[in-house]
């Protein structure tokens, strides 16, 4: 969940607003690919099909627990604006009374608000629940809702440790209800294109993967201002952030992680800082701190957080150099998958630019991707995808530019959840096993760093 802004400009993954119009149609239209792979990529077996929404006969009773950024935008404002004919908002819940009331006013909603989750279940009687709370609390809400007979949608990560993971898996099994994990990255057009090329067999059998993700000194630093800086809340960036990337890899490879080895450290933020204060507001070092951020200049965030501090004491503009930071900002992970593919992965949270580099090495070629999110130069294209065949030429694969949150992924995910268009099986909604495998990769990496050993997924959750 991200609300990072710079100089008042909303970033690509920034503060979401309910947008008019829909990108669903454009997100489902195949982009132009290199001639050498066009036929294979566009074949009926892999190409996205036209959307055929299947609306329910009656609106589903829908509630949200957690009214921070994602809960107050994508899963409420955007969901209602796009799919209000499929859902009826019957309740909003948050431990912060002021925040939940503010979000109700912003939405113009008539539903009741709650600070007690049990009261929400009893009085609002939802059929479908969205969980958008602090990461470490996801599992408690998920398990209780499933046991109460609700279907559940949760923001990533599904859980933050293996005990929570086992509890969620068991709850879905015994309840007979469905848990959907909000992996919006799968639905971004550029990521669909990568999947299509891999399915086409253009590079043969994938043998290994190189994956490097860069968080810049604006977005990356922001995790260290927020509750994410604490393992007990976020599980570390290997769980909170990397769960996106690990899910993408599981999906792209159609495989499960088997064993993980990792290195990591805190090298820029936290105790590494030359000075510190509790928060940016009132900081005596503001004039010389490159990470100083004035939250009061953003009226939306000031309302959502600063004006609600009296309820829970949460300071959204915390100092990135606080000594209680106990997560890593520099991580390197090696993963072996069930199909014997290996991945070398890194995440760095203090870079001068944002985006990622990715390469799939295959028996017949290599697929390379360079994604530009934010950088101090203007790239030729926001996303570059190149296919190089063994004994052949290098070919560019075009990716259609799609507007919307997370490269259009937010909008298509919402459509899948609420409108249920007909799509290929490989674009099915991520479920509980998908959520478990992605989280467990990060949990295993964290354990590997702490214990300095290789960790097998089987030892965390047997039989998955």
User: What pLDDT score does 401 carry?
Assistant: 78
Give domain status of residue 150, yes or no: no
User: What pLDDT score does 54 carry?
Assistant: 53
Give domain status of residue 206, yes or no: yes
Give domain status of residue 87, yes or no: no
Per DSSP, the three-state class of 426 is helix
Beta bridge partners of 333: 262, 345
One domain, residues 286 and 353: no
Give domain status of residue 16, yes or no: no
Alpha helix (H) ranges present in 134-201?
Answer: 138-147, 162-175, 189-200
Compute and round to an integer the Cα radius of gyration of the chain. Answer: 22
The torsion region of residue 110 among left (phi > 0), alpha (psi -120 to 50) and beta comes to alpha
Element holding 365 (H helix, E strand): strand 365-374
Distance between alpha carbon 423 and the CA centroid of its chain, in Å?
21
10-residue averages of pLDDT along the chain (464 residues): 35 34 33 34 36 64 97 97 97 98 98 98 98 98 98 98 98 98 96 97 98 98 98 98 98 98 98 98 98 98 98 97 98 98 98 98 98 95 96 94 80 94 93 98 98 98 96
Give domain status of residue 18, yes or no: no
Of the residues 282, 312, 342, which one is the last residue of a structural domain?
Answer: 312
Question: Could you count the other beta carbons within 10 Å of the beta carbon of residue 287?
Answer: 7
One domain, residues 361 and 219: yes
One domain, residues 197 and 280: no
Give domain status of residue 20, yes or no: no
One domain, residues 243 and 301: no
Give how many domains the chain has, as a whole number.
2
Q: Cα(304)–Cα(179) distance, rounded to whole angstroms?
A: 28
CB 128 within 8 A of CB 61: yes
User: Which residue in this structure is represented by tokens 């979401």?
Assistant: 16
Cβ contacts of 353 within 8 Å, gap of 6 or more: 214, 216, 372, 373, 374, 375, 376
As a whole number of Å, the end-to-end CA separation of the chain is: 27
One domain, residues 258 and 283: no
Residue among 29, 2, 16 nearest 402 (CA): 29
Residue among 429, 408, 444, 78 nearest 243 (CA): 444
Cβ contacts of 99 within 8 Å, gap of 6 or more: 67, 68, 304, 305, 308, 311
Give domain status of residue 199, yes or no: yes
One domain, residues 277 and 425: no
User: Which residue in this structure is represented by tokens 């009226």?
Assistant: 299
Backbone angles phi, psi at 315, to 5 degrees: -105, 110
One domain, residues 237 and 279: no
One domain, residues 279 and 259: no
The pTM score is 0.88
**Domain span at 288:** 271-312
One domain, residues 299 and 443: no
One domain, residues 431 and 290: no
User: What pLDDT score does 282 carry?
Assistant: 97
DSSP 429: P
Q: Domain with 207 in it: what CATH number?
A: 3.30.360.10
Give domain status of residue 354, yes or no: yes
One domain, residues 237 and 225: yes
One domain, residues 394 and 456: yes
């Amino acid at each position: 969940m991200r609300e990072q802004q710079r100089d008042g400009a909303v970033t690509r993954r920034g503060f979401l607003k309910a947008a008019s119009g829909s990108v669903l149609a454009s997100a489902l239209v195949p982009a132009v690919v290199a001639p050498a792979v066009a036929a294979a990529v566009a074949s009926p077996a892999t190409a996205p099909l036209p959307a055929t929404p299947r609306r329910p006969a009656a609106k589903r009773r829908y509630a949200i627990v957690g009214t921070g950024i994602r809960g107050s935008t994508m899963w409420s404002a955007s969901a209602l604006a796009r799919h209000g004919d499929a859902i009826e908002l019957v309740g909003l819940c948050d431990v912060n009374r002021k925040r939940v009331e503010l979000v109700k006013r912003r939405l113009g909603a008539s539903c009741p608000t709650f600070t007690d989750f049990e009261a929400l279940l009893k009085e609002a009687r939802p059929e479908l629940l969205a969980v958008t709370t602090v990461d470490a609390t996801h599992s408690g809400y998920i398990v209780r809702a499933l046991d109460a007979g609700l279907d559940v949608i949760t923001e990533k990560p599904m859980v933050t440790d293996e005990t929570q993971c086992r509890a969620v898996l068991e709850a879905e099994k015994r309840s007979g209800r469905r848990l959907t994990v909000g992996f919006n990255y799968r639905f971004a057009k550029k990521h669909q294109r990568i999947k299509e090329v891999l399915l086409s067999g253009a590079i043969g059998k994938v043998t290994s993967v190189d994956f490097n993700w860069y968080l810049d000194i604006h977005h990356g630093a922001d995790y260290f201002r927020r509750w994410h800086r604490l393992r007990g809340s976020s599980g570390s960036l290997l769980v909170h952030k990397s769960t996106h990337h690990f899910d993408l890899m599981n999906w792209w490879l159609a495989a499960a992680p088997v064993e993980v080895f990792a290195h990591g450290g805190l090298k820029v933020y936290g105790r590494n800082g030359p000075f510190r204060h509790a928060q940016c507001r009132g900081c005596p070092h503001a004039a010389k701190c490159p990470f100083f951020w004035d939250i009061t200049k953003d009226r939306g965030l000031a309302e959502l957080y600063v004006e609600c501090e009296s309820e829970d004491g949460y300071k959204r503009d915390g100092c990135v150099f606080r000594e209680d930071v106990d997560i890593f900002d520099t991580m390197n992970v090696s993963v072996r998958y069930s199909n014997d593919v290996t991945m070398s992965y890194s995440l760095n949270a203090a870079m001068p630019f944002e985006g990622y580099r990715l390469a799939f090495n295959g028996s017949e070629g290599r697929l390379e991707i360079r994604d530009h999110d934010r950088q101090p130069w203007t790239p030729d294209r926001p996303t570059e995808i190149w296919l190089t065949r063994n004994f052949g030429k290098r070919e560019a694969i075009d990716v259609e530019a799609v507007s919307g949150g997370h490269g259009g992924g937010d909008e298509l995910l919402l459509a899948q959840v609420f409108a249920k268009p007909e799509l290929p099986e490989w674009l099915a909604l991520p479920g509980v096993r998908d959520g478990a495998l992605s989280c467990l990769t990060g949990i295993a990496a964290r354990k590997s760093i702490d214990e300095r050993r290789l960790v097998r997924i089987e030892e965390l959750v047997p039989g998955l």
